[in-house]
Amino acid sequence: MNAPAPVAARVPAYDFATAPCGSLRLRLAAGEVMLRASGALWLAAEGALVVADLHLEKGSSYAARGQMLPPYDTRETLKRLAAEVAALAPRMVILLGDTFHDRRSEDRLAADDAQRLRDLAIGRTLVWVVGNHDADGPRALPGETADELSLAGLTLRHEPRGGLSPGEAAGHLHPAAKVRGARGSVRRRCFVTDGERIVLPAFGAYAGGLNVRDAAFAGLFARPPLAGALGSARVHAVGWRSLAAD
């Protein structure tokens, strides 16, 4: 089922620009944020790196149920996260919920992957915002646990609230954009925003994505939203009319 486009009598221009690093610099609520090609949200003024939906140990969870996937998702996801930390040197890393795929994922972590997570807390604040898959938060790993967090004029939580919620940054929905073109279409994970709130893409290697035209996104935005589709080295701004349903 396709979600109807939000109705607006007049759609003002979005305030965004492409940065030299390939990120998309965007005015969000009262401040400026950077949408990274990795799928991370960078709050430069606060030195805060935000990532959503890592779903660590999803591969081992599926394997336990007889669905065999290559068991490298946690390693790949944490490698990409470590690269963002190395590039940006954040003062704070915020894991925006569903960091683990299930409540036993922490027990299944390989020793070196557990160490990579501990390394995130060295010299900086590490915040675990809890999600529906990891409602208890970590048990043996460092960091602070929170239901939501207020930072830089934004409220960061795992699951978007229904209806309009200005100043919210959330995950949970794993947004993906299918973009029409002259030679066909391409599907990519994406940020989605109306300039007032934003939903982050899933950062996890095996997390997948839900088309932004799905009914789950209906009613979240005050005007036709902008997608920040993730390319290999840059984020592409895509207007609502260029987005196709699956």
Give me the sign of the Cα torsion angle 39, 188, 222, 147. Answer: negative
Percent of the chain residues topping a pLDDT of 90: 75
Phi/psi at 93 (nearest 5 deg)?
-120, 125
User: Residue 10 and residue 125: Cα distance in Å, rounded?
Assistant: 42
User: Residue 166 and residue 169: Cα distance in Å, rounded?
Assistant: 9
* DSSP H or E run through 119: helix 111-119
Within 8 A by CB and 6+ apart from 64, the residues are none
CB half-sphere exposure, 180, CA atoms < 13 A: 8
Give me the sign of the Cα torsion angle 87, 22, 48, 71. Answer: negative
Write out pLDDT tens, residues 189-209.
999 999 999 999 999 998 989
Q: Is 193 left (phi over 0), alpha (psi -120 to 50) or beta?
A: beta
Within 8 A by CB and 6+ apart from 192, the residues are 175, 177, 198, 199, 212, 217, 221, 225, 226, 227, 228
pLDDT on residue 246: 92
pLDDT on residue 227: 97
The angle at the Cα of 66, spanning 75 to 134, to the nearest 5 degrees, equals 50
User: Residue 59 and residue 5: Cα distance in Å, rounded?
Assistant: 35
Give the CA-trace dihedral at 127, 198, 190, 20, to 10 degrees: -80
Structure tokens given for 19: 């940065």
pLDDT on residue 5: 47
Name the residue among 165, 167, 180, 196 with its Cα closest to residue 229: 180
Cβ(202)–Cβ(53) under 8 Å?
Answer: yes
pLDDT on residue 154: 97
- Give the residue extent of every domain in the chain: 16-157+167-242
Which comes out higher in pLDDT, residue 169 or 67?
169
Q: What architecture is the 16-157+167-242 domain classified under in CATH? A: 4-Layer Sandwich (3.60)
14: confidence class by pLDDT, cuts 50, 70, 90: confident
Checking if the pLDDT of 8 tops 50, the result is no
10: confidence class by pLDDT, cuts 50, 70, 90: very low
